[in-house]
Structure 1
Amino acid sequence: MILAICAVNYLLVRKLNRGVRKGGWKSAAVTSGLHAMVIALALLIISLFGKLSMESMGFLSATISPRYAGVFFTVLLTVFFSQFIATAPQRVGSESPLMNGARESITLIVSVLTLFAVVGIIVALVNKDEDMPWSFSLMLIPLLGTLGTYLGALAFLGALAPNVSGVASALEEFTGDSIPTSVYRLWDFADGKGAWLLVLTVVLILAVAIRIGVQRTRTERINWQRTWQLPVISLVLWMILAWLTSISLGGNITANGMGEMSAGVSFGITWYSVIFLAIGAAIVSVLAEILPIQVYRYAPALLGILGGKPAAERWISGQSQAPVVPATTPTTEATRAPEAAPTTTMPTATAEQNTTVLPAASATASASTAVNEAPALQPASESSKKKAKAVGFGVLGLAVLVGLGFGAVAYLNSQRKPEAQVEQYLDLLADGKAEKAAEMVDPGIDNASRALLTDDVLAGAKQRLEVIDVKQLSKANHGASVRATYAINGEQHEKVFTVDRGDKEYGLLDTWDLNEPLLVPVKISADQVSDVTVGKSAVHLSEAESYFGDSGSSFSGDFYVYPGIYTVSAANTDYLQVDAQELRANHPDDMEAAVTLTTTVTGKLSELALDAVHEFATACVTVPTNLNEGCPSELQDKDLKSFSVKTQASEVTLEGMDSFKSSEATFKYQRNDTEYIDYSEEEFDRSFSGTIDWSDGKPTVTVTGSTWW
């Protein structure tokens, strides 16, 4: 946007001045400064009314306002430079070194911004989401200058960084990845493939160095006195650009009971990036003294393409690059200004001009370069060209190897992204490889609790997790946050992992360590059996204590499992049947997943209890067991003439799993006659009750007594 304003203001000023540059440098600077000051003050006053207030939930309010200093200085610098460039004279006969340095700095910066703005647009269009309309790409147009500045800083090994201040830092957990929290470097660009920008940077440095070198006057040897202006002025200009392209948002937040708090978020070039850009300018300035002569010797045509044909011809002839006011004939002068004296040129200058290929340098420039007059240039011989080609191909091959090396490192680092660790871990769980997942990320629990973290359990799961998406939320020097989305039986869940940055391998390759396992706590209970099966693995449950501290007939165990749906079952016996249950372990933050196995008895237990009743009833009419406790009192007598079971009990009724009661059995008996009484045979009905004791799923039936009547 700033570059667009500069371009519009430049064209507008040129239009108003009808393309005529009046006055000198000082006049243009003073006029541009005054105009810029007036416009900046006017827009500053307008911005004082530009505030945005918002309220939320009745107790929270926020106010967003412009950066007043940013508005003032942005407008001031934008208007000043665009108007100054539009009104200042293009070049004088004896241009100062500082002005040459400024011109070279502008050439370099414009080249950087243009190239990397184009790169940014291409990358943005290639990586555009499918559901994003193409018209949305038009939003990039006002940001071309910022985009070129940011990518240029990254290409020169700089960095971009956020600055979160005030209460905004406390809101980070609510804003997710909408507020950047980590430094952004070259290898973070385009999913780690940004290293190829280094190749463009090298090509750009060489091309700009040749162009700037051609625009300098050729000398016999390197002129170090004209190499420092470019990096120094570039440093100042990059500092201004870094400040102008900083994206920031600030304001005040008011909450009931907490007062007014300030908050600010900004994002831009780091301070050391400006230094790296200035170092790049210094490299360009030094190469500008070296490369043109080499290019002329081995590829003369390239010199004119990169530097411009007129400048290349002047450089080859060794003349000053400062253009001279062209010598005019008296006729031309008289026609244009009759009152002027026709003495604008010297005859000697005209004669010299007729004997040279190009216009002669000015007397001032010739005097200043006489000490370091450049010798005549000679194209390189064929043998030298062959040697140069060999050296060139060698350097090119070396550059290709270095580029391949950087590309390989960038590719490997792109595969070593923090989300790759999370995705690899989840893929192991999705494939049922629990033991390899445990090797990759230690569960960090005791051996008893990890009994279900085995391949047999996970491979035998009814449903395992399905990886939907893995996305990096933020990345910092110490680690990164990665959000994983997975589904179990079609139901999606999210989990945010913290991935720690490890030591670089060989000093180049990134390493990431995932130390946070994805475990779900579960509880398995059973009322009668202690050995259950989860998936394909058998698990032993501990005997649970009752509320009174004694051991009961129930069993339970606390374990951890990986997300999934598991089948929990127990072995059936002749007397017990356990229905399998589903154990759903979805997410660590859900309520504890629990399952209880309920045991039911089979018909054989009733048969076993009935047989025990029959056996007990028979024992009660047999001497001497008829005296056993639990037999009917009528039969517990030694003075009986006869006793027997007339009809056995036909069925038993189970009272839970621990007791039973039988139907009535009919007994008959007769007492021994006495001297005074003759007894007849009598009959009575009694039912029996008893208990059932269980051990390892096997019952022990005991008849404990009979009814009294």
Structure 2
Amino acid sequence: MSDQSRMDGNEPEGPAATADAVVPPAPAEEPAAVSGALPPAPPAGAVPPVPPVVPGAESAVPASAPAPSSAPPVPDAAQIPGPTAQVPASDTVPPLPGSIPPAPPRQGSTWLKPFTQPVLLGALSHVGIAVGAAVVGAILLVFLVLSSASDLPSTPLGSIDDVRVDFGVLAGLLFALAAVVYGGEINGTMDAGGGLFSIGGSASIWVFPLTLTLAALVAVFWWGVRQGRTHRLPTWQHRAAYSAVVGLATGLVLLILTLVFAIRVDESSVHVLVTAAGYRVVLFSLVLVGIATHLGRWAGSVAQPGENWFRSGIRLFRALPRVAREALAYAAFGGALFAVLGAVFGVIGSWQTLGVGSIALGLLGLLNMAPLAAVLGHLGGLTATVPGVESTFTVFKTDDPLLWIAVLAAVLLSIFVALWIGIRRPRRNGIDWASTWRLPLVVLLGWFVVGSVFFGLGVSAGARGAAFSVGIGIALWSPFVMAVWAFAVEVGAQTLPALAYGSAPQLLGALTGHSAVAAWAAGTSGTTVGADAADHSAGAVGAVPEPKPLSPAAKRGLLIGLSAVGGVAVLAIAAGIAVSVLNSSRTPEAVAQQYLDAIAAGHAEAANALVDPNVPTAQRAFLTDAVMKSASDRITDVSVEREGTGGGDSASLIVTYRLDGVKQTAQLNASKGDPEFVVLDTWKLDDSLVVPVDIQIDGQGKASVGGVELPFEFENGYGQATVPMYPGVYELSTEGSKYFALEQKALKVGSPDDSFQDLSFAPTDDLKEAVTKQVNDLVDTCLASAAADPDGCPFHAYTFDDDTKVTWTKQGEPTVEIDDRGTQVAVEGTVVGSYTEDFFGTTREQSDEDDYSMYGDIVIDGDTVKVAFDDSWW
């Protein structure tokens, strides 16, 4: 019989097959020196017991003697022991009356007897192999980290060329990553500060590098096979104890190494600690290394003389229950397919960032990417968590149509696995619904283990008063979706082989193995394992007629049916790809980009139609194309990025653009609307980019933008206006303002976070002339008066009733000062009052000099300027 038929599990029935498949139990005890050199004895079969033979009497039994009958043989005289042989041994002599019976022999050391020095040395070497494999995996991870970092423009510590890595840091990183291979978690803490101020924080990251973890466990398994062959242990309890010790010792060694070589930085007031020491490395090493060690020793113990470890593994695989074999085959085929797809998607997605380093990332992350691609391909979901947001990804909620290739791969994989499994089962007539739950249940439990333990990435960090975590994992409902696919595979395994054999037996043999197909057709499939004997009941094979090729008409009908199904599947996948392509242009980012492009082009009315500016109609005078086209500069270099991981019915968008050479940032929120045509996404922006500009005015005057006057409101020389406008640099016009000049030539409207603008109006020369004229007119009127205290005038002289009238003259022109806002005026001047003093009949000429001051408010009404002086100062 060929090796292929043995590997496919299609050996014929009979004693020979049973002898190959059944593994004899190991003896309860055997000397250590012999246990490692001799294979287990073959099964004895139904052989009656043979009486002991007296030494020297072997020649009495001829070599050709017939097999003993069921009756016990009668020994001859030569075989009867002498009198000395009838004397009972010392331990069988009954105790004397009144004596104390001897204690039974102690059995404690008997159980430990198999753990000889070679076995213990093998356990020590096993720990070395496990730790060494983890260190080799860590070296590959270090090269990956360094190669990926070299492709990055910068790091949190600056340029990659400026980051110094000494031997201590490199050793700490190496052993930390070695612990990560077996499930360790890297933790880091930092404290810095001095005096009254200090900062501190911590961070942790965990991820299973599944490719390296599997490679390390294969090395552990291989060494277990060697140990199982050379130094066998008699029972599974001994193997379990041995494996537990190896796994626990591996975890403790890695724990000690991570503690000793932890990365520590203590410089001035900065203290940094990075290590992977923790319970996870011990726990997962105990479980993973222990299981791999136990399986390896088991495979080595059942190995036949001259059989290599690969064939031993096949024998071990064939000894498993059928549902376990089928689930493992399902996982192996799916893992290989989706590992390639995941690696390709990963390299494509990270090429722009990491360059060539993405190839190394794709190779080492094969098994990490496989569950991701498999879940998406089987229409499951992935959950991503960022601070405050949890989103779920599916092929229906992603923008990449290439992910539908994974769906096509899942369909083809399911058909292939159904054929591969079904051909290796006994032929049945119809569907055995009572057994269809087994494979889905195993797949469900397997995906729960994979999703909750091995798959995903978790990062958490915290500082004083704040904390956040980031992670990605399989959605909780995804394992149930995978179980539904497994149910379809189970049903297909019971129905598809007959259809495929009847229509294209050669193609079926090329896909699943010609020897397996021949055994299935002959009715001998699935008979090699005793645990599967129930499959060969009369209802399974005996009552099922031999499969025959389909008639030409049946083949034609089947071909038409398959073509129709295939066409529908192709159309469905094509429709899915088309929907993804269409939805890729209907994302919140695309809607925001369209909105910003309209603003950048000066199409304010189109922007209003896309997003409601949410301002009263009376205030939309500045949200017109005419106003926007009057802008000397509008937004450029527009980019939109979604904040967080995306997904869900809402999105937060970070908008960046340049205005007047300065980078501006704004945030927009979007929400999903009702789909169009059931499958096309619709998004709308909840926020507009309209900026309510608060303008503060210093001074009085008028200004307009694009022919629309700004609605200033003045009080005490100060004014303000609130105007909704789109971002831009708008030219200001001040036509019709005779007495004030606007110092700013443009109004710059930036992002909504920068909505305050200050404008200043400076008095013009016309205002100064008008105010000076009114001051001079008042002074001239007062100078014309002959009164010592002219009414309504700022100056006066001290005279008596007998004195003559006063003649006023001014000493130079008065100074006129107008404030910056053009609302008040201050006047200072000097006058001389001349008069004749009469003092009891004696007269003399007097001249009094008076420095005066005047203050007044400037009131402008159209082109009329009026100064209202405050005479309370006079």
Q: Give TM-score scaled by structure 2 length.
A: 0.58
Q: For structure 1, which segment, 14-23 or 453-462, has the greater mean C-alpha deviation from structure 2 after superposition?
A: 14-23
Q: Deviations over 1:204-223 (max 9, x none)?
A: 11111111112222233334
How far has the Cα of 1:292 moved from its partner?
A: 1.6
Q: 1:692 to 1:485 in 2, by over 3 A?
A: closer
Residue of structure 1 aligned with 2:496, choices 283, 291, 314: 291
Residue of structure 1 aligned with 2:559, choices 386, 389, 412: 389
Q: Do residues 485 (structure 1) and 699 (structure 2) align?
A: no
Residue 356 of structure 1 corresponds to: none
Residue 509 of structure 2 corresponds to: 304
Residue 42 of structure 1 corresponds to: 249
How far has the Cα of 1:250 moved from its partner?
A: 7.8
Q: Indicate if the aligned counterparts of 1:188 and 1:194 stay in contact, CA closer than 8 A.
A: no
Q: Do residues 541 (structure 1) and 712 (structure 2) align?
A: yes
Distance in 2, matches of 1:138 and 1:190, equals: 26
Q: 1:320 to 1:695 in 2, by over 3 A?
A: same
Q: Do residues 508 (structure 1) and 679 (structure 2) align?
A: yes
Distance in 2, matches of 1:380 and 1:321, equals: 24
Residue of structure 2 aligned with 1:430, choices 597, 600, 609: 600
Q: Indicate if the aligned counterparts of 1:578 and 1:598 stay in contact, CA closer than 8 A.
A: yes
Q: For structure 1, which segment, 425-434 or 443-452, has the greater mean C-alpha deviation from structure 2 after superposition?
A: 443-452
Distance in 1, matches of 2:557 and 2:295, equals: 47
Q: Do residues 470 (structure 1) and 634 (structure 2) align?
A: no
Q: 1:468 to 1:40 in 2, by over 3 A?
A: same
Matches within 5 A, 1:148-159: 148-159=370-381
Distance in 2, matches of 1:93 and 1:69, equals: 27
Matches within 5 A, 1:226-375: 226-247=435-456, 267-323=472-528, 372-375=542-545
Residue 624 of structure 1 corresponds to: none
How far has the Cα of 1:577 moved from its partner?
A: 4.3
Aligned CA-pair RMSD: 5.3
Residue 132 of structure 1 corresponds to: 354
Residue 598 of structure 1 corresponds to: 761
Q: For structure 1, which segment, 499-508 or 556-565, has the greater mean C-alpha deviation from structure 2 after superposition?
A: 499-508
Q: Do residues 103 (structure 1) and 325 (structure 2) align?
A: yes
Q: Do residues 201 (structure 1) and 385 (structure 2) align?
A: no
Q: Deviations over 1:649-683 (max 9, x none)?
A: 9999785657699999xxxxxxxxxxxxxxxxxxx
Q: Deviations over 1:553-600 (max 9, x none)?
A: 54321234333322233214565544543323333334x521314244
How far has the Cα of 1:248 moved from its partner?
A: 5.5
Amino acid at match of 2:503: Y
Residue 698 of structure 1 corresponds to: 863
Distance in 2, matches of 1:247 and 1:450, equals: 51
Q: 1:80 to 1:485 in 2, by over 3 A?
A: farther
How far has the Cα of 1:90 moved from its partner?
A: 6.3
Distance in 2, matches of 1:449 and 1:188, equals: 39
Q: Which runs of 5+ in 2 are unaligned?
A: 1-208, 304-311, 785-789, 797-811, 831-851
How far has the Cα of 1:528 moved from its partner?
A: 5.8
Residue of structure 1 aligned with 2:726, choices 541, 548, 562: 562
How far has the Cα of 1:58 moved from its partner?
A: 6.8
Q: Deviations over 1:586-638 (max 9, x none)?
A: 33334x521314244255984897699899989x99xxxxx9999x99xxxxx
Residue 178 of structure 2 corresponds to: none
Q: 1:231 to 1:461 in 2, by over 3 A?
A: same
Q: Deviations over 1:367-416 (max 9, x none)?
A: 66676443233322323333333333322322222222222322233223
Distance in 1, matches of 2:271 and 2:859, equals: 64
How far has the Cα of 1:94 moved from its partner?
A: 14
Q: 1:659 to 1:312 in 2, by over 3 A?
A: same
Q: Deviations over 1:31-65 (max 9, x none)?
A: 76445422321233235444668899879999864
Residue 636 of structure 1 corresponds to: none
2:565 aligned counterpart, secondary structure: helix
Q: For structure 1, which segment, 45-54 or 212-221, has the greater mean C-alpha deviation from structure 2 after superposition?
A: 45-54
Q: For structure 1, which segment, 438-447 or 303-312, has the greater mean C-alpha deviation from structure 2 after superposition?
A: 438-447
Q: Do residues 460 (structure 1) and 630 (structure 2) align?
A: yes
Distance in 1, matches of 2:517 and 2:654, equals: 57
1:493 aligned counterpart, secondary structure: strand
2:354 aligned counterpart, secondary structure: coil
Matches within 5 A, 1:22-33: 33=240
Number of aligned residue pairs: give it.
613
Q: For structure 1, which segment, 427-436 or 689-698, has the greater mean C-alpha deviation from structure 2 after superposition?
A: 689-698
Q: Deviations over 1:199-239 (max 9, x none)?
A: 22111111111111122222333344554332222223223
Q: Do residues 420 (structure 1) and 642 (structure 2) align?
A: no
How far has the Cα of 1:105 moved from its partner?
A: 0.6
Distance in 2, matches of 1:262 and 1:568, equals: 48
Distance in 2, matches of 1:22 and 1:102, equals: 29
Residue of structure 2 aligned with 1:75, choices 255, 275, 289: 289
Q: Indicate if the aligned counterparts of 2:383 and 2:475 stay in contact, CA closer than 8 A.
A: yes
Q: Give TM-score scaled by structure 1 length.
A: 0.70
Q: Indicate if the aligned counterparts of 1:60 and 1:254 stay in contact, CA closer than 8 A.
A: no
Q: Do residues 112 (structure 1) and 320 (structure 2) align?
A: no
Residue 220 of structure 1 corresponds to: 429
Q: Which runs of 5+ in 1 are unaligned?
A: 165-171, 174-179, 326-361, 545-551, 622-626, 634-648, 665-686
Matches within 5 A, 1:604-615: 606=769
Q: 1:38 to 1:501 in 2, by over 3 A?
A: farther
How far has the Cα of 1:187 moved from its partner?
A: 3.5
How far has the Cα of 1:533 moved from its partner?
A: 1.0
Amino acid at match of 1:216: R
Amino acid at match of 1:42: A
Q: Indicate if the aligned counterparts of 1:430 and 1:464 stay in contact, CA closer than 8 A.
A: yes
How far has the Cα of 1:240 moved from its partner?
A: 2.5
Residue 344 of structure 2 corresponds to: 122
How far has the Cα of 1:364 moved from its partner?
A: 9.4
Q: Indicate if the aligned counterparts of 2:317 and 2:325 stay in contact, CA closer than 8 A.
A: no
Distance in 2, matches of 1:436 and 1:219, equals: 68
2:549 aligned counterpart, secondary structure: coil
Distance in 1, matches of 2:683 and 2:412, equals: 33
Q: 1:416 to 1:71 in 2, by over 3 A?
A: farther
Q: Indicate if the aligned counterparts of 1:518 and 1:563 stay in contact, CA closer than 8 A.
A: yes
Q: Deviations over 1:259-308 (max 9, x none)?
A: xx998765422332122212211111110111122222222222012111
Q: Indicate if the aligned counterparts of 1:428 and 1:436 stay in contact, CA closer than 8 A.
A: yes
Amino acid at match of 1:417: T
Amino acid at match of 2:629: A
Q: 1:122 to 1:539 in 2, by over 3 A?
A: same
Q: 1:388 to 1:411 in 2, by over 3 A?
A: same
Distance in 2, matches of 1:16 and 1:28, equals: 15
Residue 393 of structure 2 corresponds to: 184
Q: Deviations over 1:321-352 (max 9, x none)?
A: 44599xxxxxxxxxxxxxxxxxxxxxxxxxxx
How far has the Cα of 1:134 moved from its partner?
A: 0.7
1:474 aligned counterpart, secondary structure: coil
Amino acid at match of 2:382: L
Residue 582 of structure 1 corresponds to: 746
How far has the Cα of 1:109 moved from its partner?
A: 1.0
Q: Indicate if the aligned counterparts of 1:9 and 1:83 stay in contact, CA closer than 8 A.
A: no
Q: Indicate if the aligned counterparts of 1:39 and 1:75 stay in contact, CA closer than 8 A.
A: yes
Distance in 1, matches of 2:339 and 2:240, equals: 29
How far has the Cα of 1:151 moved from its partner?
A: 1.9
Distance in 1, matches of 2:290 and 2:227, equals: 23
Amino acid at match of 1:571: E
Q: 1:189 to 1:594 in 2, by over 3 A?
A: closer
